[in-house]
Amino acid sequence: MTVKPFVAALALVVGASVATAYAQQASPSNTGAAAQMPPSAPIPISDYVIGPEDMLQITVWKNESLSRALPVRPDGKISLPLLHDVQAAGLTPMQLQEKLATALGEFMPNPEVSVTVTDVRSYRVSVLGEVQRPGVLQLKSDTTVLEAIALAGGFRDFASPGKIMILRKNGDGQAQKIPFNYNRVVKDNRGEGNVTLKSGDVVVVP
């Protein structure tokens, strides 16, 4: 498949979603480096899983000394007065909120805590192989395989879109291979099978 037919087909499926995707691809001269994005608005997604380098706003009602904006450290923890190191990565904002409220309950009566993800920095996927700009994408919102391929510039002339493989680690750290047939997904007008990528996924285009 050549690049021009690919662009036309992809535009029908992805449409405006690609144009508004909150991501930026690595440039050809910086292949393998994460593309950088400006800070995003607060993330209201309740099931978002916090990861290292995400920016959080911790607010404790009527307690400015405990309320602060801070990053999640590479080890997945945050540092707060009274509580010291608290594991944040792997939890949703609601779960972290409940965890902090319970811990602070040992020092004050009925603390009210809110947690907001103000900047998503941990959501990264890689697109490798026969695409125009292989490398790492730093994303800001849910992104599908079709969108990731578009952000990587589309296929090269001799790519095999029907044999794409998504490499993903499961909860036990074991590698999982998910086959993805681009031709079949594009042909399906309902977009079924267009996999939403998880942080750490690697999309390999042979």
pTM for the model stands at: 0.68
Q: Count up the domains in the chain and report the number.
A: 2
Q: State the Cα–Cα distance between residues 88 and 95, nearest whole angstrom.
A: 9
For residues 136 and 194, membership in a common domain is answered with: yes
Tens-digit pLDDT string for the chain (206 aa): 444 444 444 443 443 343 334 344 443 334 343 443 334 444 444 578 899 999 999 999 999 999 999 999 999 999 999 998 999 999 999 999 999 999 999 999 999 999 999 999 999 999 999 999 999 999 988 899 999 999 999 999 999 999 999 999 887 778 899 999 999 999 887 667 899 999 999 999 99
Domain boundary among 101, 119, 137: 119
Domain boundary among 119, 143, 169: 119
Question: Which residue range forms the structural domain that includes residue 128?
Answer: 3-38+122-205
For residues 112 and 130, membership in a common domain is answered with: no
Give the per-residue SS3 of the chain. CCHHHHHHHHHHHHCHHHHCCCEECCCHHHCCCECCCCCCCCECCCCCCCCCCCEEEEEECCCCCCCEEEECCCCCEEEECCCEEEECCCCCHHHHHHHHHHHHCCCCCCCCEEEEEEECCCCEEEEEECECCCEEEEECCCCEHHHHHHHCCCECCCCCHHHEEEEEECCCCCEEEEEECHHHHHHCCCCCCCCECCCCCEEEEC
Domain boundary among 80, 99, 119: 119
